[in-house]
Amino acid sequence: MAASIPNPCTRCGKERIISKSWVENVGISKLTHIETICPDKACQKITDEFLLAQTEKRVALELQRATQKAERLKNLLVDKA
């Protein structure tokens, strides 16, 4: 196997460790997924909370965007009638 590529934690700079890995077959391709975490549990907890907040914000913005688009289409159809 190839030499390990450095993968430091974005918060503390410690070398990340592999928490789990799995292989998935997609069509004729074989994908290997590797999930890494920070060895410092407190740092990883903060990172997980930050990523969760980002995900919640993104989902809320996507929902808002879809609602605004539906409202624009509704107004466009009302204006044409």
Kindly provide the residue ranges of all beta strands, DSSP E only, lying in the chain, ordered along the sequence: 17-26, 29-37
Evaluate whether 14 touches 8 at the Cβ level (below 8 Å): yes
Task: Write out the two tokens for 68.
Answer: 């605004």
pLDDT given at position 4: 74
Ramachandran bin of 13, using left for φ above 0, alpha for ψ from -120 to 50, beta for the remaining angles: left
Low-confidence ranges of the chain (pLDDT < 50): 1
> CA 43, CA 51: separation in Å to the nearest integer?
12
pLDDT given at position 78: 82
pLDDT given at position 81: 65
pLDDT given at position 80: 72
